[in-house]
Amino acid sequence: MEDLKRAIRDVRNFPKPGIIFRDVTPVLLDPELFGQAVKQMADPYRGARITRVVAIESRGFLFGAPIALDLGAGLVPIRKPGKLPAATERVEYELEYGTDALEMHHDAVQPGDRVLIVDDVLATGGTANAAAQLVGATGGAVVGFSFLIELDFLKGRQRLQGRRIEALLHYA
Ligand code: AMP
């Protein structure tokens, strides 16, 4: 776990002044570390009968795809508006300034599906909460979330209240 944390690159003032961006790309460069991260992100949900892993654009795809294979579940991308070709569910959510939206193929999750939502970083929880709303709109059950990193001080966990949240690395 210490190796993993050491590999995360802190980029100050990106994408805006005052933000420390936690860059996960060095983890991807090291197959040993990347493999461990994927396995440990999947571990809490072994035996949870996950049928769909929903991965959030874009860095969520990098972890969601191998986790889906590991858990023997289908992979579902959630994307920014206008990127998915077939019929979609859409949800709008609040940002610090204004709103944003996410979309998921309407037929990708069915009632009865047991869903794990994956992203690289849990910050304020707005994005993850929107992903859970999309899954809910299709009748799927959100079993939990798996993140590589949780920024504890932003209290995203509170926004996802009552849901199971797993994160490998924490920043206070
Ligand atoms: P939020 O909706 O505030 O929880 O933001 C989560 C999304 O923004 C995730 O998809 C992250 O990839 C990205 N994100 C937010 N803050 C950071 C950060 N400090 N470093 C890297 N990615 C971040």
Count of domains observed in the chain: 1
Domain membership of residue 19 (yes or no) is: no
The Å distance, Cα 123 to ligand 1 centre, comes to 5
* Residue range 111-168, pLDDT digits in tens: 999 999 999 999 999 999 999 999 999 999 999 999 999 999 999 999 998 899 999 9
pTM: 0.98
Domain membership of residue 35 (yes or no) is: no
Cα separation of 19 and 38, whole Å? Answer: 26
Domain membership of residue 156 (yes or no) is: yes
Domain membership of residue 138 (yes or no) is: yes
Domain membership of residue 34 (yes or no) is: no
CA distances to 22, 86, 126 from 52, rounded to whole Å, are 27, 18, 21
Per the prediction, the chain carries an average pLDDT of 97
On the 0-12 / 13-18 / 19+ scale of CB atoms within 10 A, 36 is: middle
Choice from 14, 121, 153, 170 to test ligand 1 binding pocket (greatest atom count within 8 A of CB): 121
Domain membership of residue 64 (yes or no) is: yes
Number of other residues whose CB lies within 10 A of the CB of residue 169? 19
Domain membership of residue 26 (yes or no) is: no
Residue 166 sits in a domain whose CATH number is: 3.40.50.2020
Domain with 134 in it: 48-171
Domain membership of residue 106 (yes or no) is: yes
The Å distance, Cα 45 to ligand 1 centre, comes to 23
CA 125 to chain centroid, in Å, comes to: 10
pLDDT of residue 86: 98
Closest of 47, 66, 83 to residue 148, by C-alpha: 66
